Structure 1
Amino acid sequence: MKLSTHLYRVGNDIVAAYLVVTPEGVTIIDAGLSGHWRDLRAELTVAGRTLGDVKGIILTHGDSDHLGFAERLRRHLGIPVYVHHADAARAMGGPKPPNAKQQMRFLPLVEFLTYALRKGGLRTSWLTRTIDVRDGEVLDLPGSPPPPHHRPSRALRGQHRRACSARRRSVRRRWTHDTQRPDRRDRPPARAVHR
């Protein structure tokens, strides 16, 4: 789904991967579920691109619903997968940090599980190699991303679990943990209303 001039989404509001499409190539933010493979190829076609145009994948964190087709692209096409060093072990099948447990409401959990089952959520291929990113490191990827940095997950209220954050100036979006939202710096300043 085309969200803006340079931004496409593969998946839905529950689990998604985002394509940042520029003249220099494509950067993928998260890799969704393994069943998103066909959707990825279809979305690249809509954008007038191919798998050969993908220059890198940035994972916001190492949970299985963000890994989807990442290992497939890395193994078969040599596309680098970037993840914050604190999440690299998790992205390679390591244990979930004990403080990463979060309470989920029943209906959203059922919706997630139903969608994940339909899209291959049980067929996760853990990564066998990642490129670890440190705070402040600048990645040479399409979309002129500023350095990814670790931010505490808002769902975990400041505990030690963190997620990689990437902000793309070309698409005016920020990805943090399981969210994607317009960048606050791109919003117009609030104006006082006088009556």
Structure 2
Amino acid sequence: MVGRAREHRALDGVRVDRVSADIHFAHTEHVNWVIYSGPDGVTLVDSGYAGQRVLLEASLGAVGVGPADVAAILITHGHADHLGGAAWLAEEFGTPVHAHPFELANVRRDILEQAGTGGVLRNAWRPGVVPWALAIVPLLNGRADLGVPSATAPPMRGERIDVPGQPRMRLVDGHTSGHAVFEFDDEGVLVVGDALVTRHRTSPLLGPQLLASMFHHDAGRARESAGAVGSSTARFVLPGHGEAWIGPASAAAEAALDAGAPW
């Protein structure tokens, strides 16, 4: 079921839902991020566009913390809509930024597996593409290639990442070469980035689905990885775009595969 948790705060431009004891889902029109704030500290998963810094700060404030309190940032994948706040926090506060080892080249901008101008122009005739592209240009702050040169692989403690919340990391490549999901077992929460989404401005579909092929480095592999999301036992699935999925991860994955991609 797509929806929101019972406890939420609607701020100007961002809504923050509390989905478990310590995890909050920050939802905006364009992209989402996740805040873990527990007794062991604060971890941010993804971070929005560079031009959404005010919304990022507001979402942290809604949870009762500030930018300097963030102990670590985990990045599902190195696209501009997930990296903007991380680049600022790393530069301003020295906040560690971590991604799957296979994704570090994208996050550091040694390579750029991201929909470019050419792909957008080739698909401009499709409904929703031009309005989406025009809406995100101001959010890029002129830096579609913005990266985090200091990003590293996450410190591990056994199978868990040694940051507040201690999630597990799993590779689900295809959208990018090193796209990962992060599972907070103790919270029953799976953060899936763009492995599947529940809404996107370039798609007429509602509910779990795959992003359009333009956005994937390897669309076939992205579909396989979306299916693999279903092996999680999580009861909340938090996507990079759209509403939270409340229910078994297996059901979200099945629905996404049934819906497929809009094109």
| Pair in the same fold by TM > 0.5 | yes
Q: Which residue does the alignment assign to 2:242?
A: none
Give RMSD over aligned pairs: 3.5
TM-score by length of 1: 0.75
Q: Which residue does the alignment assign to 1:151?
A: 172
Instruction: Please state how far the C-alpha of 1:72 moved relative to its aligned partner.
Output: 1.5
TM-score by length of 2: 0.58
Q: Which residue does the alignment assign to 1:141?
A: 163
Taking the aligned partners of 1:171 and 1:13, their CA distance within structure 2 comes to 25
Q: Which residue does the alignment assign to 2:52?
A: 36
**5+ residue gaps, structure 1:** 190-195
Instruction: Please state how far the C-alpha of 1:79 moved relative to its aligned partner.
Output: 0.8
After TM superposition, the structure 1 = structure 2 runs for residues 152-167 of structure 1, keeping only pairs within 5 Å, are 152-153=173-174, 161-167=177-183
Choose the corresponding residue for 2:133, options 109, 113, 127. 113
**5+ residue gaps, structure 2:** 1-14, 199-228, 236-246, 249-263
Instruction: Please state how far the C-alpha of 1:40 moved relative to its aligned partner.
Output: 1.2
| Counterparts in 2 of 1:23 and 1:32: CA distance versus 1, 3 Å | same
Match of 1:161, SS state, is coil
Instruction: Please state how far the C-alpha of 1:111 moved relative to its aligned partner.
Output: 4.4
Match of 2:55, SS state, is helix
Instruction: Please state how far the C-alpha of 1:23 moved relative to its aligned partner.
Output: 2.5
Match of 1:71, SS state, is helix
- How many residues align? The count is 183
Percent identity (aligned)? 22
Question: Residue 85 of structure 1 contacts residue 134 of structure 1 at CA under 8 Å; is this kept in 2?
Answer: no
Instruction: Please state how far the C-alpha of 1:57 moved relative to its aligned partner.
Output: 0.5
Structure (1 or 2) with the greater helix fraction: 2
Alignment-mate amino acid for residue 192 of structure 2: T
Choose the corresponding residue for 1:127, options 130, 135, 148. 148
Alignment-mate amino acid for residue 60 of structure 1: T
